Amino acid sequence: MHPAAERVWKLVPKFAQDAIASGVDRARGVTPPAPPAPDMTKPIRLMIGPVNYAGQGYRWARAVEQTGRVSAKNYVHEANNPLQYAADYTVTWRTAEHSRSWQRAMYETLARDYTHALIEACYPILGGRFEGDMYRQIELLQAAGLEVGFIGHGTDVRLPSTHAASEEWSFFRDDEWVDPGLVEPVVAKNLKLIADTGLPTFVSTPGLLLDLPQAHLLGVMIDVEKWANDRPLLARDRIKVVHAPTNPITKGTGYVTPVVQRLEREGLIEYVELKGIPNDQMPAVFADADVVLDQFRVGDYGVAACETMASGRVVLAHVSDQVRGEVERRAGLPLPIPETNAENLEDVLRDIALRRDHYRAIAAQGPEFVRRLHSGDFSREVLMREFLEA
């Protein structure tokens, strides 16, 4: 929506917004789909929603179902799933926000059929009910007997001031990506909601424990076998270096470009920068690479780094000591990502060219590390122990 139109829209009373939006849907022939039903023969029935970032809600649902005791469904607002990750249930944002009948049906389904609900990214799980008031939505679900918890994914719980203070290359130190002053109160409100309710809380990546130290690390999940390959590594004269930034600013592409261009002109590397490649094509891309440049401004790692490690490639990223300590303690292995930042990227790439066997050995640890923390076994154990069977 255009900012000017959005300002006008916000002046319209909520009941009128609902009537207008529902009228638009009816005119377009949109019929809100019935909420997903769980397998009622299972004693534990879990709903996860509504953002499914990087397909993680769907994957966590599948992980806990492997116990045989859980039926799990995830749902996502269509606008939050532009890359079309797998999801059990998809609904338009207009429907969730403005359809009173959908909100009523979702609540009734949860109250009648589910035992647990995990709310992702502090998004209202009942859409626009109570004008999105999360406190009231949670109270309603708890009154119906559901156990409720939170999952933090990233910027929803990463406080800009904390990140800027702890990370030298933080994208919250300037407004190149987004004005930190606009993000700070939104995240602070989310953190207050989590603190006020005292509900079980999980985070997808270890860096988020700085903002939510009481949370449980859930870990992102990938299909390890999908990324496995037996292609030789670092066998070419020129190292093939790949960078696929979903967001060049937050990934630190500005730091990468001058370095790799210089090394490519020198003949040391072949550099490929990718944009808009569907996820199902990325296994072949990584298999053909020697080095994948992940991110250099967050201090954490996520799905892309796990996919690279599972591919047996060298992944370079800036990962904080806090994150490295957290995952080594849980995996029993050091994180196989050589520490690389805006200042030493060139030195690391030159070192890879000189000490290929050393970096082949690091890359060879990647698949096992991912199996231990990111294949689903770890996530399932955490969810069962800390929430579903607590």
Strand order in the sheet with 239-243: 269-273, 239-243, 291-293, 314-316
Same topology for domains 12-20+28-221+377-388 and 224-374, yes or no? yes
CATH 3.40.50.2000 fits 224-374, yes or no: yes
- The residues, any chain, with a CB within 8 Å of residue 139's CB and separated by 6 or more, are none
pLDDT for 7 equals 65
- pLDDT tens-digit profile of 330-356? 999 999 999 999 999 999 999 999 999
pLDDT at 9: 57
Those residues of the chain that have pLDDT short of 50 are none
Distance in angstroms (rounded) separating the CA atoms of residues 354 and 94: 55
* CA distance from start to end of the chain: 43
pLDDT for position 53: 94
pTM exceeds 0.85, yes or no: yes
pLDDT value for 264: 98
Domain coordinates of the chain in residue numbers? 12-20+28-221+377-388, 224-374
pLDDT of residue 224: 96
Instruction: Identify the architecture of domain 12-20+28-221+377-388 in CATH.
Output: 3-Layer(aba) Sandwich (3.40)
- Can you read off the two tokens belonging to residue 361? 């050995």
The answer for residues whose C-beta is within 8 angstroms of residue 94's C-beta and 6 or more apart is 21, 24, 25, 30
CA 111 to chain centre: 27
| CA neighbor of 80 nearest in space, from 127, 24, 142 | 127
Q: How much is the pLDDT for 69? A: 98
